[in-house]
């Protein structure tokens, strides 16, 4: 069973994940899949929240227990955790990089909405341009971490995520404009210089540069909020291609890799 995170990570108000920016002090929080509990710790120590955590890994649950008022060791997919929550209600229900690991994320969401009105999620984007470009090479490489983490069994685009939450009566009421990163900094950077023409066509599609969707969902029919899909600019696209070409040239040569000036230049371009 994979261990996610480390108990050595300590978040402060200056470096917290986007998803925690919605959580208000002294809130009641139900957190699914907290890993080693670094977000749990922040919510307890900095926000003074009352956290109940559901975690499948008993080793990680021991660390989480230091910060959560209650830890339920359970497989989220089986639903056995629900027996521990009867009659309880939470201000926030947190799924930080969890839904993609579930066999039935829709069923889980349909269950948890009984216990709170506000669901916070972060989900990797399978429509990221690097994934699309890798498919042009006929490749779909699972990784130890990232977009194609080898424990991911569900994959989401923006549309499929909205469709799923809509079936649960949830509406997106805010997002932290998701987590954006240069595609050339992703784990699939090598495909950008191989398909320069195709990469620009793909880059123009909405959200193809979005690495992760981070959203707040609520049980309301509020149609006023409209998230604008992210589109990459041509200037940023050129920087992606240039940085990847330089990366290939520099790191294909041992002499260039060890040149301090070139390494400093590479860091500036990157």
- Residue 70 three-state SS: strand
Residue 15: what pLDDT? Answer: 72
Structural domain boundaries, residue 97: 18-182+207-232
pLDDT higher than 90, residue 214:
yes
pLDDT higher than 60, residue 2:
no
Burial call 203-230: b when 16+ CB within 10 Å, e when fewer: beeebbbbbbbbbbbbeeeeeeeebeee
71-113 pLDDT, tens digit per residue, is 999 999 987 899 999 999 999 999 999 999 999 999 999 999 9
Please indicate, yes or no, if residue 51 is contained in any of the structural domains. Answer: yes
Comparing 173 with 141, the larger pLDDT belongs to 173
CA 119 to chain centre: 14
Please indicate, yes or no, if residue 197 is contained in any of the structural domains. Answer: no
Please indicate, yes or no, if residue 258 is contained in any of the structural domains. Answer: no
Please indicate, yes or no, if residue 27 is contained in any of the structural domains. Answer: yes
- Look up the CATH number of the domain holding residue 33: 3.40.50.150
Please indicate, yes or no, if residue 114 is contained in any of the structural domains. Answer: yes
Please indicate, yes or no, if residue 261 is contained in any of the structural domains. Answer: no
Comparing 252 with 20, the larger pLDDT belongs to 20
Of 10-14, 188-192, 247-251, where does the model show the most confidence? 10-14
Predicted TM-score (pTM) of the model is 0.80
Write out the two tokens for 20: 């925690």
Please indicate, yes or no, if residue 142 is contained in any of the structural domains. Answer: yes
Domain count, the chain: 1
Please indicate, yes or no, if residue 4 is contained in any of the structural domains. Answer: no
């Amino acid at each position: 069973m994979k261990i996610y995170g480390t108990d050595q990570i300590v978040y402060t108000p200056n470096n917290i994940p986007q998803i925690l920016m919605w959580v208000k002090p002294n809130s009641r929080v139900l957190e699914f899949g907290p890993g080693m509990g670094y977000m749990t710790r922040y919510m307890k120590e900095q926000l003074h929240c009352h956290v109940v955590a559901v975690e499948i890994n008993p080793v990680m649950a021991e660390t989480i227990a230091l910060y959560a008022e209650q830890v339920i060791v359970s497989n989220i997919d089986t639903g056995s955790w629900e027996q521990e929550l009867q009659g309880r209600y939470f201000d926030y229900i947190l799924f930080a990089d969890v839904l993609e690991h579930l066999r039935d994320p829709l069923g889980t969401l349909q269950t948890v909405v009984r216990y709170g009105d506000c669901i916070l999620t972060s989900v990797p984007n399978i429509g990221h341009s690097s994934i699309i470009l890798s498919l042009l090479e006929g490749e779909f490489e699972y990784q130890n971490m990232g977009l194609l983490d080898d424990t991911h069994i569900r994959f989401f685009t923006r549309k499929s995520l909205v469709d799923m939450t809509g079936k649960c009566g949830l509406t997106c009421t805010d997002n932290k404009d998701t987590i954006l990163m240069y595609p050339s900094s992703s784990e699939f950077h090598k495909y950008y210089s191989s398909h320069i023409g195709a990469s620009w066509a793909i880059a123009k599609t909405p959200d193809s540069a979005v690495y992760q969707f981070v959203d707040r969902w609520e049980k309301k029919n509020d149609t006023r909020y409209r998230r604008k899909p992210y589109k990459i600019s041509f200037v940023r696209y050129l920087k992606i291609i240039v940085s990847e070409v330089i990366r290939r040239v520099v790191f294909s040569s041992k002499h260039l890799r060890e040149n301090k000036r070139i390494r400093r230049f590479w860091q500036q371009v990157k």
